[in-house]
Structure 1
Amino acid sequence: MARFWPSIPLPWLLISAMFLAADATTFTLVNKCEYTVWPGVLANADEPPLSTTGFPLQKGESRSLAAPAGWGGRFWARTRCAQDPAAGELSCLTGDCGSGQLECGGRGAAPPTTLAEFKLDGDGGLDFFDVSLVDGFNLPMLVAPQGGKGGRGNCTSVGCTGDLNAACPSELRVAAGGGGSGVAACKSACDAFRRPQYCCSGAYGSPQACKPTPYSEAFKSACPQAYSYAYDDATSTFTCAGADYVITFCPSPNASQKSTSSQAQTPEASAAAATGDAPLINNTMVYEGAVAEASRASPSARAHLSSVGLVGVAASMWRWQQLFLA
């Protein structure tokens, strides 16, 4: 028996396809490091995984991933990865997700790791995003919105573009290994000391009780746009609407950070921002639980911006030395 298919005019099919495409957000991951990185991707609970949860990204390469409307999750870079010749398992010195494979398969990053976190189509239809140092730092990262619409949200490029490893206090350092003396990553104070006042846990498990510490303040001084501790929401969460996002690992360190709106960018400036060559903006990011809280934060708190250039980076490095290396 012949199967009956309703007749749908071609224009309606095209319009439907356009609406479906409009609902998707594209994340483009760009590697500007001088070495290979292995990005990891983790969807929030009850969110669908993207088409891949882990892959290698050679120097200069990029890869785009589509996310459905309302998606939430995080991205990071695994570094110094190697495959065991006998067992065939992949292991990474920083950002390892413990799967033993290219794909993380629903596993998160082991700290210390720089994180980019997102919740699409949140409160008021806005995307909420941040770069977080709550789990420590392993490499510089920049998130650049592209094509935000309607003047909604601040749509600024945010991240941590300096190398915190270079001035990391000795008690927070993760050694590069391999017989060298380099630093592969910088731990958070929570990861290093496991004390409630550093982890915002126990009696310190509220914004009123958990305050910045000298360690988180040093992170904040070096990267004013990034989350430095769990309740750093007011200056570290950003919003946009209808945008795609470029996540750059190791963006140009000498880019001056100044606020830009995707609505006011020229095509040349927009393309430069996508590769990390455009002026950056000085504002921060959140860890997974804080993204959801930030979506309920007041507009005035979410809109708080700061501006720091090369002078700020130099000053922050001096502050690291005064606090920890003297």
Structure 2
Amino acid sequence: MKLQVTSIFILMLSTSYAHEFRLRNNCPFPVWPGLLGNPGKETPLNGGFQLNLWETKVFHVGYGWGGRIWPRRDCDGNGHCLSGDCGNKIQCDGTGNPPASLAEFTLDGWGNQDYYDVSLVDGYNLPIKINPIPGTFRKVSDSYFDCNSAGCYRDLNEICPNELAIWHNGWKIACKSACLAFNTDQYCCRGAYGTPQTCKSSNWPYNYPAIFKQACPDAYSYAYDDTTSTFTCHGNPETGYEIVFCP
């Protein structure tokens, strides 16, 4: 009986600390979100599904969840997508293939604080925005990064340099990061360039990350772009998040 009571208590605790997520598609075409939990964390909704124009999908994750969500576009009936592909599967069971815009979350950290950001470190394919859901959070400071919207709202494909672009039928459909395109230690912030002090524009042959940063100042443009890209929020009692494609 004692084991049964303990199990019920754990179930109630995990349920009461569920975060609501809302995925909304504002693009003028279907989007196939990909989802992946961090190591040891669940992957919601079997990792992927189709989200039609103006459609919203709601799901919940447990206390302490962490993971990433990204848009895939132009997927066919076999599950192959022209950007953000998951190895020809609609339901991703691993990481998607860059380039793709990423929404990243680490929930319920020290002091019950959430961390979230939009990252272009792996490149870009669609505009994306993260909104804390009103009524589910509390601000603890006047900081710009406290419970505000994070995202990249511009179509970076329009300004993507040709050497970074992914093309399809004469159109740019995604934009690689410099790391993905050139695979050098400088752009990938590794080896001798693997610290915030050495991974910087003065060591890059060309400042490609600045193209992303100028267009989307609230999004990560390279690995150590933390100070102007990481947002935090405290729950009331637990924060919910809306992720909008083509906001």
SS in 2 for 1:203: helix
Counterparts of 1:246-257 in structure 2, within 5 Å, are: 246-251=242-247
The two structures have a TM-score, normalised by structure 2, of 0.88
Higher relative contact order (CA 8 A, sep 6+): 2
Instruction: Sort the Cα spacing of 1:247 and 1:191 in 2 relative to 1 into closer, same or farther, 3 A.
Output: same
Percent identical among aligned pairs is: 48
Q: Which residue of 1 aligns with 2:148?
A: 156
Larger radius of gyration: 1
Contact residue 79 and residue 95 of structure 1 kept, 8 A: yes
Q: Structure 1 residue 245 and structure 2 residue 234: aligned?
A: no
Deviation at 1:152, TM superposition (A): 3.2
Contact residue 71 and residue 100 of structure 2 kept, 8 A: yes
SS in 1 for 2:137: coil
Contact residue 120 and residue 212 of structure 2 kept, 8 A: yes
Q: What is the alpha-carbon distance in structure 2 between the residues aligned to residue 249 and residue 136 of structure 1?
A: 15
Deviation at 1:16, TM superposition (A): 9.3
Structure with the bigger percentage of strand: 2
Q: Which residue of 1 aligns with 2:117?
A: 130
Q: Which residue of 2 aligns with 1:299?
A: none
Q: Which residue of 1 aligns with 2:177?
A: 188
Q: Which residue of 2 aligns with 1:111?
A: 98
Structure with the bigger percentage of helix: 1
Q: Structure 1 residue 42 and structure 2 residue 36: aligned?
A: yes
Aligned amino acid, residue 117 of structure 1? E
Q: How many residues align?
A: 231
Q: Which residue of 2 aligns with 1:77?
A: 71
Instruction: Sort the Cα spacing of 1:71 and 1:222 in 2 relative to 1 into closer, same or farther, 3 A.
Output: same
Q: What is the alpha-carbon distance in structure 2 between the residues aligned to residue 204 and residue 111 of structure 1?
A: 22
Q: What is the alpha-carbon distance in structure 2 between the residues aligned to residue 113 and residue 51 of structure 1?
A: 19
Q: What is the alpha-carbon distance in structure 1 between the residues aligned to residue 64 and residue 11 of structure 2?
A: 18
Q: What is the alpha-carbon distance in structure 2 between the residues aligned to residue 172 and residue 120 of structure 1?
A: 33
1:172-222 deviation digits (Å, cap 9, x = unpaired): 111023xxx211001100111111100101111111110135110111000
SS in 2 for 1:241: strand
Q: What is the alpha-carbon distance in structure 2 between the residues aligned to residue 159 and residue 149 of structure 1?
A: 18
Q: What is the alpha-carbon distance in structure 2 between the residues aligned to residue 60 and residue 215 of structure 1?
A: 33
Aligned amino acid, residue 162 of structure 1? R
SS in 2 for 1:96: coil
Q: Which residue of 2 aligns with 1:198?
A: 187
Q: Which residue of 1 aligns with 2:222?
A: 229
Deviation at 1:18, TM superposition (A): 7.3
